[in-house]
Amino acid sequence: MGIVGNLTPDQLQFFNSQGYLVIESFASSEEIDAMMKRMEQLLDDFDSSSTASIFSTKNQQKLTDDYFYESVEKVSFFFEEKAFGDDGNLNQPKQLSINKVGHALHEIEPAFKKFSSSEKFASLLHSLGYKRPVIMQSMYIFKQPGIGGEVVPHQDNSFLYTEPSTCTGLWLALEDASILNGCLWAIPGSHKNGLVRRFLRDENGVKFDRPSPSYDQKDFVPIEVKAGSLVIIHGDLIHQSFENQSPKSRHAYSLHVVDTDGCTWAPENW
């Protein structure tokens, strides 16, 4: 048996035709445990009164602030939109109020860095055709029970654009992800239609360059996976996730990679 990250011809064919691929048991229980335990420590140490930055894909333009911009080189904490009551206080403990932590876990935190720079991870990127890959951002996503917010249909290349486009999303399930607790959904083959719109930053903030198309929910398929599974997401694939209305969380570690060989990073990326 070869290195776990080496993709077979059948896997590559599926990825190229469907725009996503699930690799089961990509992460070991030890790797998952190390990342989840470290995140538990980070949350315990986090002073929730120090920031009230909210992450929402529905109100991204309005809620993107300096704290968000500066998070690219830090480990920063973002609350769920529904975490706060009318009085401005948290409705539940801070551990159950955070939407995500990002965006430099892969650079700063040893447990996450070890996984993100592992041989199997490098081998996987090589299998996908990357020559000089760079992880642009990493996120620990909680999808909290009851309040875990919806992620609207989007393409990763909208946010991390290169010319030519090279972004790939790598989404590791740290817990089982099901329809009930807000698993990923995707439109198979939608990556073949190209990039729909871009998310741009200028002196006035951030904005999309055009409105989102409307999508038929019947075209989406659920991607239910067990803990340890890695979902590879083409940068042009239309994907989303719904609110978590179950009593179970759906923790995931998500990374986005671009190539730096033979392509140019767009200066107007966030």
Closest CA to 132 of 166, 81, 170: 166
83 versus 58: the higher-pLDDT residue is: 83
Q: Span 126-150, mean pLDDT?
A: 96
**Does 106 have pLDDT greater than 80?**
yes
Q: What is the pLDDT of residue 1?
A: 34
* pLDDT tops 90 at residue 4: no
Least confident window among 60-64, 173-177, 189-193, 256-260: 60-64
In this prediction, residue 49 carries a pLDDT of: 84
So what's the pLDDT on residue 2? 46
Taking residues 225-253, report their average pLDDT.
Answer: 97
Predicted confidence band of residue 10 (pLDDT cuts 50, 70, 90): very high
User: What per-residue confidence (pLDDT) applies to 60?
Assistant: 53
State the pLDDT at residue 50. 81
pLDDT digits (tens, 9 = 90+) for 13-63: 999 999 999 999 999 999 999 999 999 999 999 998 887 677 766 655 555
- In the chain, what percentage of residues exceed pLDDT 90? 83
pLDDT reported for residue 145: 95
Average pLDDT over residues 178-195: 98
Which amino acid, one-letter code, is at 199?
F
Domain boundaries, the chain: 9-28+100-265
Q: Residue 194: what pLDDT?
A: 97
pLDDT at 70: 84
CATH C-level class of 9-28+100-265? mainly beta
Question: Residue with structure tokens 């140019």?
Answer: 264
Per-residue confidence (pLDDT) for residue 88, from 0 to 100: 86
